[in-house]
Structure 1
Amino acid sequence: MEDKSAKEKITIKQIFGDHWSKFKQLKWHTIPEDMRESVEEAVQKMLGCGDPKNGYTKSMCTECGEEKIVGFTCKCRFCNPCGKVYIENWVNKQVESIIDTSHRHTVFTIPEELRRRVYWNRKLIKDMSDRAAGIIEHWYKKQSQKKEYTVGIITVVHTFGRDMKFNPHIHALVTEGALDKFNVWKPVNYIPYAYLRKAWQKVLLDLMKEKYGQETKMRNLINMLYHRYRNGFYVHAETRMTDARGAAQYIGRYLARPAIAEYRILSYDGKKVRFWYEDHKTHKIIELELDVLDFMGRLIMHIPQKYFKMVRRYGLYRRDKNNQAQKVVSLWNYVRTKNILKTKTFKTRKLNWKERIIKEFGENPLACSKCKNEMELWEIWHPKYGYIYDITRDAPEVKEDGRRKGLDGHTVRRRETRGVLQLSLQTM
């Protein structure tokens, strides 16, 4: 197979299409047994993304007769293009629930010696998220004495480093403040590093002791980790965000970001894949070449188990607490700044697929390639449900003069009202 580095863009879909069967023959044993169904489903969705046999929409230009068929997207986070859309939609949704106060982005890391255990037992990740949130909640409650502070926390699981190796860690978005039991907002913008590191080390090693404490090897490892990391496990908590959208965007980029962006793939010759990444410590660009099956393995090890919650909410971000917290903080902002704008509720509208493409590429996907007239939806087909929409069956009849004729013989006139397309009947 020829090297595709210079001639065309290299895609993850192309690499998996070439070697997925071979990977399952030779490397399937490297995937935890309880993860294989989820991995298979995610890969098959990605491979079938955009294939008309999995469903499509057909548009037609009523001026020149040009047709355009667009296959359904898979909407799978493992798919690079769909993952990007997932993040955008998630961020827009979160902006409505993010409390309008400053947030601190905190990252809880896991020492390399424990990562293999987490790889083979993904259920540990949920416990890790709970315990990371727990040490933050504990610190706030300890500071509040009898006022019972409740802080807002959103955690997001991230499982890879820049070299795509399995490196699970927990991102936490934490409000710089809390509500007390009297619903009074109390700004708090500092949690000591020493506490975070030591507390995180203890709760994580306690978790390992609970799960594997019967193993002599694990007990010895726990003792060694306490000795090796005398200051606790590494926790990063320097990034501060002052507005709701910025906070949602910052944490959202970790939610469904693919393990590697396709522009980082330098070459692929059918046997090996060469790519680059920026070293986190030195900030130098490092190039790495892997056997194609090893490259695929580094990607699929980050596919989450089906129905696993990558995002978890605690304290003020629980559904039963969030609305109340937003009202209190908005009022507090108003009293503090006398700025009525601070009391508004963030509302966003999710872009449809046409608007997303125009925003991304500056082109209308419905514009006819020949005459540039906007094409009209002609049919929608799904492999399970058949023809969901067919203009010859479902739409009013079109007369030769371009006007539509309804089933009762009346002309159909279209008009735009408040951004919604309405159909009205007008007697001829």
Structure 2
Amino acid sequence: MLEVADIFRAHGPAWRATTRLSLGQLKVMSAIERCRTAALGGHVLRCSGCARTEVSFNSCRDRHCPKCQASAAHRWLEARQADLLPVEYYHVVFTLPAAIGAIAWYNKRVIYGLLFDVAADTLRTIAADPRHLGAQIGATLVLHTWGSALTHHPHVHGIVPGGGLSPDGERWIACRPGFFLPVRVLSRLFRRRFLEALADSHRRGQLQFFGEYAALADPPVFAQWLAPLRACEWFVYAKRPFAGPEAVLGYLSRYTHRVAISNQRLLAFDEHGVTFRWKDYREKGRTRYKTMTLEAGEFIRRFLLHVLPGGFHRIRHYGLLANPVRRASLARVRELLDVAPEIDTPSDDPIVETRPAFICRHCGAPMIVIDILERMAPIRAPPTKGRP
């Protein structure tokens, strides 16, 4: 199967020689190029059943690597299963206008952070209004920065239970079946609060501007630039409720640890460039599924647009689902809904079985590590100029 790593290995060294990259982008390229290769070391395994021997190379575990996110998503989902409630769940999307997306690339930490916090604050404010729901809600938000064609398109996906606790915490208030909160009201409040927060960040000197946007560093120019954004419509979308908790988990498994492009979408890599599948959301039906070919250097550039700042969390929980209060909040909600609480099996229970770390693909028996292969290069070193 064609992989992003193949493109990085073939064209990365020459492209890096002509392009200025951040240290974070260099680290991502290094990790993806070396992922599951002898450079990172590994294990020699022997099956305890059929005695087959095979080599398993180590993963880079970088959150931008297409090969490493499936297992990371599986582990995250196992931890989230106990958080599900027997209520409707809704999917809400908050998208930044293209103009703000253009300056967000130079101010990722600030603007992506505002996108998270303002979207969550908007949901909680409208839900707390007695004219709409009048309840304290919880939400899980996931940041995506790409469109299907790898363009820069910052937006957050929200997974929200369809209801919340009453202000006194004594009742569960469910939303109307099939309807969560009015999208138009969410959009207007999101627009106003985001622009207020963005203007405040500008006054504090937290934003940087370069190239054609350098003039925005001047407060009057920035205020003039913001004016049209106060009048245009901002895209906030609420989908129909999921069909049960299993559908919520299925959705989360596809979205929480997704990267800019998966290896499955790659079709060809030749002298013409990189060809991949993409979805044109402006069209409907089967015609929206198309193919695109980009020159290898342009493909790499677009992929690296979506490297996040170090330590930036792209999955965040708010309200009733915020980490400090989640356990107590969920216990209270289950009590009000008359649902049996989740029972944690003690770790010293003799019934609990430890799942083997490696399973034979041929017979399903556990595999035993018989040798360790040392890594050849530190994973955080920048890529070398030559072919790795």
Is this a same-fold pair by TM over 0.5? yes
Q: Is the contact between residue 94 and residue 119 of structure 2 (CA under 8 Å) also seen in structure 1? A: yes
Partner of 1:188: 175
Partner of 1:19: 11
Q: Does 1:217 align with 2:217?
A: no
What is the CA-CA distance between 1:66 and the residue it aligns to? 6.0
Q: Does 1:345 align with 2:346?
A: no
Matches within 5 A, 1:74-89: 74-89=60-75
Q: Is the contact between residue 56 and residue 380 of structure 1 (CA under 8 Å) also seen in structure 2? A: yes
> 2:160 & 2:355 partners in 1: Cα distance?
28
What is the CA-CA distance between 1:282 and the residue it aligns to? 0.8
Q: Does 1:307 align with 2:299?
A: no
Question: What SS does the corresponding residue of 1:239 show, helix, strand or coil?
Answer: coil
Kindly provide the CA deviation profile for residues 178-217 of structure 1, in whole angstroms up to 9, marking residues without a partner as x.
1122342111243112211111111222223223364333
Matches within 5 A, 1:93-112: 93-112=79-98
Question: What SS does the corresponding residue of 1:266 show, helix, strand or coil?
Answer: strand
Question: What SS does the corresponding residue of 1:26 show, helix, strand or coil?
Answer: coil
> Are residues 222 and 251 of structure 1, via their aligned partners in 2, closer, same or farther at CA, if it must alter by over 3 Å?
farther
Is 312-321 or 12-21 further displaced after alignment?
A: 312-321
Partner of 1:377: 369
> Are residues 381 and 10 of structure 1, via their aligned partners in 2, closer, same or farther at CA, if it must alter by over 3 Å?
closer
Computed over aligned residues only, the root mean square deviation of the Cα atoms, in angstroms, reads: 3.0
What is the CA-CA distance between 1:272 and the residue it aligns to? 1.3
Q: Is the contact between residue 96 and residue 346 of structure 1 (CA under 8 Å) also seen in structure 2? A: no
Q: Is the contact between residue 265 and residue 274 of structure 1 (CA under 8 Å) also seen in structure 2? A: yes
> 1:55 & 1:247 partners in 2: Cα distance?
37
Q: Does 1:125 align with 2:115?
A: no
Q: Identity of counterpart residues, as a percentage?
A: 18
Matches within 5 A, 1:28-47: 28=20, 31=21, 36-47=22-33
> Are residues 235 and 379 of structure 1, via their aligned partners in 2, closer, same or farther at CA, if it must alter by over 3 Å?
same
2:165 maps to a residue whose letter is L
> 2:375 & 2:181 partners in 1: Cα distance?
54
> Are residues 69 and 199 of structure 1, via their aligned partners in 2, closer, same or farther at CA, if it must alter by over 3 Å?
same
Kindly provide the CA deviation profile for residues 382-424 of structure 1, in whole angstroms up to 9, marking residues without a partner as x.
449xxxxxxxxxxxxxxxxxxxxxxxxxxxxxxxxxxxxxxxx
Kindly provide the CA deviation profile for residues 296-333 of structure 1, in whole angstroms up to 9, marking residues without a partner as x.
11111112222110111111112332222222332333
Matches within 5 A, 1:279-290: 279-283=280-284, 284-290=288-294
Question: What SS does the corresponding residue of 1:80 show, helix, strand or coil?
Answer: coil
Partner of 1:253: 254
> Are residues 303 and 239 of structure 1, via their aligned partners in 2, closer, same or farther at CA, if it must alter by over 3 Å?
farther
> 1:274 & 1:60 partners in 2: Cα distance?
39
Partner of 1:203: 193
> 2:336 & 2:260 partners in 1: Cα distance?
40
1:169 maps to a residue whose letter is H
1:39 maps to a residue whose letter is Q
> Are residues 63 and 260 of structure 1, via their aligned partners in 2, closer, same or farther at CA, if it must alter by over 3 Å?
closer
> Are residues 375 and 188 of structure 1, via their aligned partners in 2, closer, same or farther at CA, if it must alter by over 3 Å?
closer
Partner of 2:76: 90
> Are residues 352 and 174 of structure 1, via their aligned partners in 2, closer, same or farther at CA, if it must alter by over 3 Å?
farther
Matches within 5 A, 1:117-196: 117-123=103-109, 124-143=111-130, 149-180=135-166, 181-189=168-176, 190-196=180-186
1:42 maps to a residue whose letter is V
Matches within 5 A, 1:218-367: 218-227=222-231, 229=232, 232-270=233-271, 272-283=273-284, 284-334=288-338, 342-345=339-342, 354=358, 363-364=362-363
Gaps of 5+ in 1: 1-8, 335-341, 367-373, 385-428
> 2:128 & 2:267 partners in 1: Cα distance?
50
Q: Is the contact between residue 138 and residue 160 of structure 2 (CA under 8 Å) also seen in structure 1? A: yes
> 1:81 & 1:258 partners in 2: Cα distance?
10
> 1:203 & 1:347 partners in 2: Cα distance?
41
What is the CA-CA distance between 1:225 and the residue it aligns to? 2.0
Partner of 1:388: none
> 2:7 & 2:270 partners in 1: Cα distance?
10
Kindly provide the CA deviation profile for residues 126-152 of structure 1, in whole angstroms up to 9, marking residues without a partner as x.
12101111011111222289x983211
Q: Is the contact between residue 141 and residue 159 of structure 2 (CA under 8 Å) also seen in structure 1? A: yes
Is 235-244 or 213-222 further displaced after alignment?
A: 213-222
Q: Is the contact between residue 172 and residue 337 of structure 2 (CA under 8 Å) also seen in structure 1? A: no
Gaps of 5+ in 2: 204-217, 346-352, 377-388
Kindly provide the CA deviation profile for residues 359-395 of structure 1, in whole angstroms up to 9, marking residues without a partner as x.
xxxx4577xxxxxxx76431234449xxxxxxxxxxx
1:343 maps to a residue whose letter is A
> 1:22 & 1:143 partners in 2: Cα distance?
60
1:22 maps to a residue whose letter is A
* Structure with the larger RCO, 1 or 2 (CA within 8 Å, 6+ apart): 2
The structure in which a higher percent of residues are strand is: 1
> 1:344 & 1:16 partners in 2: Cα distance?
48
> 1:63 & 1:247 partners in 2: Cα distance?
37
TM, length-normalised to structure 1: 0.73
